[in-house]
Structure 1
Amino acid sequence: FRSASPATDRGMACDGWLTWAEKKLWLGLAWPISLVFVCRFLMDLTDLAFIGHLQSDDRYPNASTVDFLAAAGIALTWINITSIPLWRGFCPSLVTLASQAFYSDEDGLMQTYLQMALFSSTMFCWVLVLGWWYSGVIAQWALGEAICSDTCVDLVTDFTRYSSVWLWPMAAFDQFEGLMQCRGEVIPAMVVNVIFVLINAALNQFFIYGVDSPKYGIRWDGVGFIGSPIATAVSRWLRTLLFALYMACKGYFAEWKVGMASWSVYRAKNYLRQCLAMAIGGCFEEWQIQVVSFMAARLSSQAMAAHTGLLQVFLVLDSLMFGPMNATTVRI
């Protein structure tokens, strides 16, 4: 989906956007990236689909199906509100700067920006974990005890705490995927994401409801509600490790030491400047959607449960736009 060298790409780009070769390159980047984003939101939708069929859980004797789905929706709302700078700031900044480095034949500089992105994302993840750890208390304070009962607090808290396990691998995968986008290698990430959407569904079934196979003498009841974030954590860790191994085997980390030697205050400021601007813009854009979720939660558990399901379907469809956006960023 790209030409043989950055120099060839630069010459082709100079011929103009309307050339067929450039269109082919752009489309070759856009549709796999769109599918990657669709798979990301499909994982969340899969989690909610399995939680929505959960009738009871011994850990939460007073909770019903509506309570489980509403609590998961509140937890996801808090997760989205707090993590937007991570998804809309750190990774897009890497794509912007690493693309410039790639088309300047600076592989070492690409590694520098990848390392900066991983380091800053890791630091920010620790801040998010702290916020997620007390999500239930925050939700009850924001929504009131009439809406967010003690059972709701327990459900929201457990969901976000177990979700914090997949936070770093999710961020790292985004950085690795962003680096591959800059190189025009988008098919591997697409394939891995499609596979792990299916794996995530299987893991949700396993961890939430367990397995019952009299033929093989296997019976396990699962862990109920918390099985969903556990399943997502397992799938995202495996996905990140597999993708990192693929990149290492292909030699995409060969310039890692060169990248470390290229760190400088100027480049760090340049990256953080890009990151801050994109994160602020992303927050103002995405928080509008989360305000609607907050308003739905203020109505009732039933309203929040219904809104959560519809919102995730909307996000899956809406995520298609990120492919053309990222492809344009890479090509420009």
Structure 2
Amino acid sequence: MSALADECYRETAPLLISHPSETTLNEVPPVDDELGVSRWILMRQEAWWLFTSSLPLSLSYLCQSSFTFVSMLSVGKLGVNELAAASLAVMLINFIVLMPCVGLACALETFCSSAFTASRDKTRVGFHMQRGLVAVTLQLLPTVLLFGFIDTLLQKIGQTPEVATLCGQFLRVWLIGSWPLVAFECLKRFVQAQGIMQASTWVMAIVAPLHMFNSYALVWSPTLGLGFIGAPLATAISNWLMFFLLAAFIAFGKAREAWGGFSLDCLVGIWEFYRLAIPSAAMMACSWAAFELVTFGSSIFGPVALAAQACIFSAMTLTYQTPSAIGSAAAARVGNSLGQGKQRRARYASYVAIGMGYVVGMACSLLLFTYRRRWGYIFSDDADVVALCSTLMPYFAAVQTYDGMNGLVAGIMRALGRQSLGAVLAFPSFWILAIPIGFYLGMGPMDLKVVGLWLGLAVGVIVYSLSQQCYILFCVDWRHEVKVCLDRLARCSNPKVNETRELLISSSSLSSSSVSFSDSYGSLA
């Protein structure tokens, strides 16, 4: 008993339910007080909660992803070189900045959602969020130096001088809004962990129309227009607006209750955050880098192929957002449920989310296939670009459902703290199957060019998606995940704090906890 208490004293705020020490992980977990609830009732409740929560998130994600869509739309009419340069710049931003930074921020879905329901002191959510801010800021610093001479580097590896110069200009202007964008990703997960899903939606409802206006004014306006560099400048302005508006929402809303103020204590024991943040970034990197490498491979076949690839990736960005939003909502729900020991609710929330993902994915695939011959005209009037886009679209439509499912299932994996497993599954799927097969088909004897790259990518996406789903559906021990979740929260808290806190040792404290599941983040009905 004393060993259990000593272990839990390492947390600033004791857990609401008894926390298993490392020596008791194999013992019987706390009893789920919802064992008498029918599985159909649970699934109906979770379906409604996920629908109402993911809907505002989907709108928010779609608006945010539309920034790239609008940028491509703005520069696409300037010429093929401009569209190719913008596409290459977006690829480098995704690969060098967003992939590692958003990957690090995604680890907050593991810590913040569980801490919100498992800890007496809700400011533990803000404590974890500060660690995320530190991590993404440090990750961003080397980018400033790299983007300073990126155009020279691009020319040395084979890009045309025109495309390389335009790409360098785009990236250096975009850097102005880089930090607020990655900070916004941390703040977004901070409020989502508290069940406040509409915050980013209200922010995007304000910023998205302004971004469209700025994109036109800064690129095409006779008085304010700057041409090509107006597109990244509009994005930088929008990124700062997003950050300030969400920060204001937190400062003047209910979400501030989980913010305990800035403290250097977050740096102590930050390695516990990196233990999940690094695999989270690696999991995202394995898949995201494969997609970006396909874009880079497309550039080898000339500006037309790269421009057509930009059209396809814009479609992918838009259709990916709704499954990803469902995954973010599921991450918060599963994490909250595990934090309160409700393993059955966490389990059925995962199952329902996967089912919803398939419905959305198949609907998007059908829509893309139907309009495959018209999509290219949105971005370019060049007949060759439109024709190649029409050729590639059926391959993307076939794989889009599984690509969206990867974003959804990744949220559940993060809620479980299984980022390492996700990275292990992603590496062979993309780097042993997708990339070698794609480049062989595209540049080997068959010489399928961009079509070959997409065929290889399809293999990796499907294998990765199905392997993660099989793990969640057939391999997860949900009762054990409750204990692992609580143990992780205690280990990652500030070890410097010596104040002794009273613990609720008895497993019966699950049902007598002073904070109910429904009070924590809304009614289940």
Q: When the two structures are superposed, what TM-score results if normalisation uses the length of structure 2?
A: 0.54
2:100 corresponding residue in structure 1? 85
1:233 corresponding residue in structure 2? 236
2:118 corresponding residue in structure 1? 104
Tell me if structure 1 keeps the 8 A contact 2:82–2:228: yes
The structure 2 residue matched to 1:163, chosen from 160, 167, 174, is 174
1:323 corresponding residue in structure 2? 325
2:85 corresponding residue in structure 1? 71
Separation in structure 2 between the aligned mates of residue 14 and residue 98 of structure 1, nearest angstrom: 28
Letter in 2 for 1:52: G
- Say whether residues 1:25 and 2:39 are aligned partners: no
Quote the offset at 1:279 in angstroms: 0.6
Quote the offset at 1:150 in angstroms: 2.3
Tell me if structure 2 keeps the 8 A contact 1:108–1:262: no
- Say whether residues 1:252 and 2:266 are aligned partners: no
Separation in structure 1 between the aligned mates of residue 322 and residue 169 of structure 2, nearest angstrom: 31
1:307 corresponding residue in structure 2? 309
- Secondary structure of the residue aligned to 1:306 is helix
2:277 corresponding residue in structure 1? 275
Quote the offset at 1:24 in angstroms: 2.1
Quote the offset at 1:134 in angstroms: 2.5
- Secondary structure of the residue aligned to 1:103 is helix
Quote the offset at 1:258 in angstroms: 5.9
Separation in structure 1 between the aligned mates of residue 76 and residue 35 of structure 2, nearest angstrom: 49
Query: What does 1:201-240 correspond to in 2, within 5 Å?
Result: 201-211=212-222, 220-240=223-243
Quote the offset at 1:239 in angstroms: 1.9
- Say whether residues 1:49 and 2:52 are aligned partners: no
Quote the offset at 1:233 in angstroms: 0.7
Instruction: Name the CA shift for 1:230/1:258 in 2 (closer, same or farther; >3 Å).
Output: closer
Instruction: Name the CA shift for 1:305/1:125 in 2 (closer, same or farther; >3 Å).
Output: same
The structure 2 residue matched to 1:35, chosen from 59, 62, 69, is 59
Deviations 1:249-280 (A, max 9, x none): 115345544663753643x1221111101111
Letter in 1 for 2:89: A
The structure 2 residue matched to 1:121, chosen from 127, 132, 136, is 136
Tell me if structure 1 keeps the 8 A contact 2:125–2:259: no
Separation in structure 2 between the aligned mates of residue 23 and residue 11 of structure 1, nearest angstrom: 20
Instruction: Name the CA shift for 1:66/1:330 in 2 (closer, same or farther; >3 Å).
Output: same
Instruction: Name the CA shift for 1:264/1:69 in 2 (closer, same or farther; >3 Å).
Output: closer
Instruction: Name the CA shift for 1:33/1:205 in 2 (closer, same or farther; >3 Å).
Output: same
Q: Which structure is larger by alpha-carbon Rg, 1 or 2?
A: 2
Separation in structure 2 between the aligned mates of residue 66 and residue 122 of structure 1, nearest angstrom: 35
Quote the offset at 1:306 in angstroms: 1.7
- Secondary structure of the residue aligned to 2:263 is helix
- Secondary structure of the residue aligned to 1:184 is coil
Bigger RCO (CA 8 Å, 6+ sep): 1
Tell me if structure 2 keeps the 8 A contact 1:109–1:262: no
Separation in structure 1 between the aligned mates of residue 36 and residue 190 of structure 2, nearest angstrom: 23
2:211 corresponding residue in structure 1? 200
Once the two structures are overlaid, the 10-residue window that deviates more, 224-233 or 98-107, is: 98-107
Quote the offset at 1:240 in angstroms: 1.2
Tell me if structure 2 keeps the 8 A contact 1:17–1:23: no
Letter in 2 for 1:115: Q
1:150 corresponding residue in structure 2? 161
2:194 corresponding residue in structure 1? 183
Letter in 2 for 1:96: T
1:287 corresponding residue in structure 2? 289
Quote the offset at 1:282 in angstroms: 0.6
Separation in structure 2 between the aligned mates of residue 22 and residue 317 of structure 1, nearest angstrom: 23
Instruction: Name the CA shift for 1:175/1:303 in 2 (closer, same or farther; >3 Å).
Output: same
Quote the offset at 1:196 in angstroms: 1.8
2:149 corresponding residue in structure 1? 134
Letter in 1 for 2:141: W
Deviations 1:142-197 (A, max 9, x none): 3x1xxx22222221111001111111111111111111110111112112213322
Once the two structures are overlaid, the 10-residue window that deviates more, 277-286 or 320-329, is: 320-329
Instruction: Name the CA shift for 1:140/1:86 in 2 (closer, same or farther; >3 Å).
Output: same
Identity of aligned residues (%): 22
Instruction: Name the CA shift for 1:117/1:13 in 2 (closer, same or farther; >3 Å).
Output: farther
1:94 corresponding residue in structure 2? 108
- Secondary structure of the residue aligned to 1:183 is coil
Tell me if structure 1 keeps the 8 A contact 2:107–2:277: yes
- Secondary structure of the residue aligned to 2:266 is coil
Cα RMSD after superposing both structures: 2.3
Letter in 1 for 2:139: F
Deviations 1:232-255 (A, max 9, x none): 111111121111112101153455
Separation in structure 2 between the aligned mates of residue 78 and residue 249 of structure 1, nearest angstrom: 36
Letter in 2 for 1:233: A
- Secondary structure of the residue aligned to 1:263 is helix
Quote the offset at 1:141 in angstroms: 2.6
Quote the offset at 1:138 in angstroms: 2.6
